[in-house]
Amino acid sequence: MTDTDLDAGAAPARPPAADIRIAGCAAWLPPRAAVADAVAAGLCDQALAETTGMLSVAVAQDEPAPEMAARAARSALGRSGSADVSLILHASFFYQGHDLWAPASYVQRAAVGNQCPAVEVGQVSNGGMAALGLAVDHLRAGPPAGETGRRVLVTTGDAFRAPGFDRWRSDSGTFYGDGGTALVLSSTEGFARVRGLATVSAPELEGMHRGDDPFGSGPFSHRPVVDLDACKKDFLAGRRVTRVIATSAAAQDASVERALAEAGVALADIDRFVLPHMGRKRLRAGFLTRFGIPEERTTWEWSRRVGHLGAGDQIAGFDRLVTSGGVGAGDLLLWMSVGAGFTYSCAVVEVLERPAWVGEAEPGDAV
């Protein structure tokens, strides 16, 4: 790549870390619901729909969020060639179907069946990337004595159902889709490798999704439907917007710079960008315009038909590029993510070869 508008310059590279590979990936997505049909039914505003540029979102029927994650996991493990993992990390954004329950253990029972640790990861929209970071740390620690390597299964799963969540209105500017994703990481083998990874927090912004509401005694104590816009309005009422924007931008920039430095590359070296499945206005403001990223080098044309998958956008976007043959050996990808809290993550992933399953239809994926 020679585009000067992408050349932010590379920070001094750190010594190379242990080689962490991606051995398998998959997504399980239900059929799509057209945005135009939602507008016609009065579920969302026409002007907002036009601003987002979204065409459809994936909508589950009866599939529970952890089950969609388990279905993706079975596919990813099959593609990786083995179900032998030493850690399972399940990330989610919204309600998983039961109270005081461990969805990571469901994924373990339904997709793996072993007795390794199975842990749930929060961080809402940044949950998948946060889980990736934990997986990389686990693998870099090395295998126990007598073992030749380790593997980690990362899954995400969400279903944004009423009455608690309105996929069209709970977070204006982003339409939410349902589905599960999975990623298998290995310390020894895989078709891609994680060359750089960084997460940076800006906890002074945690009130953005809390607003002025007092702490409740249970879920939905303050309103029956999630309303992130109301929380954001309360948060910004007593603060300088320019300061909030600057704080967010500094953390995001730091995550990008650190990941690129660890990988020993510059932004201009990146071939494809895997970004959150936001509406076009938010995507341009938060990523495309800020970093000079051409829309055609992202997964936008696909993601605008899927919707925001909670914690799973980056894994799903990567899987789409790999499975569709959109990337090949030598390509560098930049995964970028942001989640309430706020946390910002960035990963540099290099494709080493095209896996044998390129071109396969995704399980459950129907337009």
pLDDT, tens only, 17-63: 568 999 999 999 999 999 999 999 999 999 999 999 999 999 999 99
- 69-87: per-residue pLDDT in tens? 999 999 999 999 999 999 9
Check residue 3 and give its pLDDT: 43
Residue 19 CA to residue 21 CA, distance in Å, equals 6
Ramachandran class of 81: left when φ > 0, alpha when ψ lies in -120 to 50, beta otherwise = left
pTM for this prediction: 0.93
Q: Which two tokens stand for residue 144?
A: 């126990």
Q: Which two tokens stand for residue 302?
A: 């696909």
Residue 350 CA to residue 192 CA, distance in Å, equals 6
Check residue 366 and give its pLDDT: 59
Of the two residues 48 and 361, the one the predictor is more confident about is: 48
Q: Are 87 and 153 within 8 A, CB to CB?
A: yes
For residue 9, what pLDDT band results from cuts at 50, 70 and 90? very low
* Among the listed residues 346, 350, 288, 289, the one whose alpha carbon sits nearest the alpha carbon of residue 303: 288
Give the ranges where 81-219 is alpha helix by DSSP (H): 103-107, 127-140
CB atoms within 10 A of CB 279: 22
For residue 367, pLDDT over 60 is answered with no
Give the ranges where 92-170 is alpha helix by DSSP (H): 103-107, 127-140
Residue 106 CA to residue 124 CA, distance in Å, equals 19
Of the two residues 363 and 1, the one the predictor is more confident about is: 363
- 92-104: per-residue pLDDT in tens? 999 999 999 999 9
Q: Which amino acid is at 266?
A: A
Check residue 12 and give its pLDDT: 42
pLDDT, mean over the chain: 92
Residue 358 C-alpha from the chain's centroid = 21
Residue 210 CA to residue 217 CA, distance in Å, equals 14
Residue 91 CA to residue 201 CA, distance in Å, equals 18
Check residue 250 and give its pLDDT: 95
Q: Which two tokens stand for residue 253?
A: 């920039």
- Proportion of the chain above pLDDT 90, given as a percent: 84
- 287-330: per-residue pLDDT in tens? 999 999 999 999 999 999 999 999 999 999 999 999 999 999 99
For residue 16, pLDDT over 50 is answered with no
For residue 331, pLDDT over 80 is answered with yes
